[in-house]
């Protein structure tokens, strides 16, 4: 049996879980998320949600832990939310936002302007003497990760000087340069 799939999901106060027609919907104080599922069933009893698979076929065994993890992330997202922070390392690299439009200066001949989804709260932090930071917050873990990866993809950190867009706390593998 799946080690992750057999763990129950604790449902906190103020969170409602609704299962209907192979779609599970989770509502909380930060928003509402829904996910379609196949091959598993959900059972809610006294504040916990358990995931059971319908058969022992390979696809159902594979989906068991996956759907448990997805629903757990949905419950965590509507209660606490998820945050990703990106750091812009490099001379002249800047970030600013107006509403949900992110404006990045990453050393190209033009600025990159990116429209962020309305479900994501965007914040840019620029302090003198420190690298600019882009902070993304939302209740949808998948959406935050996807947008953060897209922003990082504009200028990935390079291994010689470490310049580029990196996650806060990410270790960049450095290489030695040319020897004189």
User: What contacts 1, CB < 8 A, 6 or more positions away?
Assistant: 64
Distances (CA, A) of 116 to 55, 78, 141: 41, 19, 15
Give strand ranges (E) for 48-162: 48-53, 82-89, 94-98, 101-105, 112-115, 121-125, 133-138
CA–CA separation, 176 and 55 (whole Å): 54
> Which one-letter DSSP state was computed for residue 27?
E
CB 120 within 8 Å of CB 102: no
Per-residue pLDDT of the chain (180 residues; tens, 9 = 90+): 468 888 999 999 999 999 998 999 999 999 999 999 988 999 988 889 999 988 989 999 889 999 999 999 999 999 999 999 999 999 999 999 999 999 999 999 999 999 999 999 999 999 999 999 999 999 999 999 999 999 999 999 999 999 999 999 999 999 998 887
Can you say how many angstroms the Cα of residue 100 is from the centroid of all Cα atoms in its chain?
A: 17
Q: Locate tokens 């690299």: which residue?
A: 93
Domains of the chain, each with CATH number or no CATH: 9-79 (3.90.930.12), 82-167 (3.90.930.12)
CA–CA separation, 100 and 116 (whole Å): 5
Task: Give the pLDDT confidence of 66-83 residue by residue, as tens digits.
Answer: 999 999 999 999 999 999
Q: pTM (2 decimals)? A: 0.89
3-state helix, strand, coil in the chain (%, to 5): 20, 40, 40
CA–CA separation, 49 and 81 (whole Å): 19
């Amino acid at each position: 049996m799946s080690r992750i799939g057999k763990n129950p999901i604790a449902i906190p106060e103020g969170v409602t879980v609704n299962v209907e027609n192979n779609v599970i919907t989770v509502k909380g104080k930060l928003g509402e998320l829904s996910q379609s599922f196949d091959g598993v069933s959900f059972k809610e009893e006294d504040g916990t949600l358990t995931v059971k698979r319908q058969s022992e076929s390979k696809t159902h065994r594979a989906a068991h832990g996956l759907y448990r993890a997805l629903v757990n992330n949905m419950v965590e997202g509507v209660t606490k939310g998820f945050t990703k922070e990106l750091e812009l390392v490099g001379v002249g690299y800047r970030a600013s936002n107006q509403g949900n439009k992110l404006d990045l200066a990453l050393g190209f001949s033009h600025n990159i302007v990116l429209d962020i989804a309305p479900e994501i709260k965007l914040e840019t932090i620029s302090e003198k003497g420190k690298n600019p930071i882009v902070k993304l917050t939302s209740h949808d873990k998948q959406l935050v990760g996807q947008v953060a990866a897209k922003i990082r993809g504009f200028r990935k950190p390079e291994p010689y000087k470490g310049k580029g867009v990196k996650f806060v706390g990410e270790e960049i593998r450095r290489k030695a340069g040319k020897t004189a």
